[in-house]
Amino acid sequence: MPSPYVRRRRLAVELRKIREERDMTADELARIVYQSRTKITRLETGAIRPDLAEIMDLLDRLGVTGPRYDKVVRLARDAAQKGWWDSFGDSMGARQRLYADLESGAATIRGYNQTGFPAVLQLPNFIKALVQLDEHQGLLDYRPDRMADARAHRQRRLLQPDGPSYETVLDECVVHRLAVPPALMADQLRHLIDVVTEEPRISIRLLLHNARVPGGLLPKSSFFLYTFAEPADPTMAVIDTVATDLVLTDRRAVARYTEHFNRLQEAALSKADSLAFLDQVADRLINEAGSEA
């Protein structure tokens, strides 16, 4: 299914264009369609799921007809769809809901993981360890059991035959600095190796701590790039910050992050060398765990 979030963003652009072409303010449009200005603003920013009947009424009142009417109605219908993640509500966490939504319609996913492992490739026990670390930082905004179930859903989607291609550059510091038990880290590394070995569509390349990244400055945080099958769906960059995720669709901004990814990928180890490195680290961690027993 197409990503409802992506279609909401496209619908928002179309609705704003239609209003501006008629030289109307959001307040004026709100009066015409008997809605609040706040609701119009939220529709024009893609902040809410649209009601198809209300969108059709808006188009009728503004005299939109023909192919443009059909286009906007199709966007509204796609934008109003619910995905499996909606059944979880807020229990899986708002940030993970966004990623699940984008992944549902993605053709390709590329990412730079600077501070964590790819969520869609985490083992259940590894997720539990991450939750314990997260609890040290305050109250959780998700239910751990539901969050873990949601990540399992995301992994199944990724591994489906028609799933997206997935490329990630993993910073070496994550392997060494994340405070999970050595044996568990080794299990997680083995899992990454197994998945990448079995699935040609999935690639992990390791960026060593002493690797030089030529051609520009370093990225300031983890980020992810999404492309979609339909050309009209814009490529999106999602920037991971401490408090939220920033979604960018501006072409120049997305191009900068695409350049970042290309430079990081070029500086990282090859796929084969990355797997060999992770295998060596896993062996060392197992030996450490055995010596501590």
Q: Quick one: 170 and 228 in the same domain?
A: yes
Q: Quick one: 11 and 105 in the same domain?
A: no
State yes or no: pLDDT of 146 exceeds 70. Answer: yes
Q: Which residues pair with 245 in a beta bridge?
A: 240
- With bands split at pLDDT 50, 70 and 90, how would you rate the model's confidence at 73? very high
Q: Quick one: 141 and 261 in the same domain?
A: yes
- With bands split at pLDDT 50, 70 and 90, how would you rate the model's confidence at 288? confident
Q: Quick one: 231 and 183 in the same domain?
A: yes
Question: pTM of the full predicted structure?
Answer: 0.94
Helix spans in the chain (H): 4-21, 26-33, 37-44, 52-61, 66-79, 94-105, 124-135, 144-159, 172-177, 182-198, 251-267, 271-292
Which tens digit of pLDDT belongs to each residue from 148-167?
A: 999 999 999 999 999 999 99
Q: Quick one: 174 and 240 in the same domain?
A: yes
Q: Quick one: 167 and 206 in the same domain?
A: yes
Q: Which of 27, 61, 79 is the last residue of a domain?
A: 79
Q: Quick one: 39 and 10 in the same domain?
A: yes
The distance between the two most distant Cα atoms of the chain, rounded to a whole number of Å, is 76
DSSP category for residue 120: G
Q: Quick one: 68 and 164 in the same domain?
A: no
pLDDT for res 71: 97
Which tens digit of pLDDT belongs to each residue from 15-24?
A: 999 999 999 9
For residue 224, the domain's CATH number is 3.30.870
Q: Which of 79, 106, 125 is the last residue of a domain?
A: 79
Strand order from edge to edge, sheet including 106-113: 202-207, 165-171, 106-113, 223-228, 236-240, 245-248
Give the mean pLDDT of the chain.
94
Q: Quick one: 160 and 244 in the same domain?
A: yes
> Domains in the chain: how many in total?
2
The SS3 call for residue 274 is helix
Q: Quick one: 132 and 211 in the same domain?
A: yes
Which tens digit of pLDDT belongs to each residue from 207-263?
A: 999 999 999 999 999 999 999 999 999 999 999 998 889 999 999 999 999 999 999
Question: Containing domain of residue 241, as a range?
Answer: 88-292
Q: How far apart are CA 223 and CA 262, in angstroms?
A: 13
Which tens digit of pLDDT belongs to each residue from 187-213?
A: 999 999 999 999 999 999 999 999 999
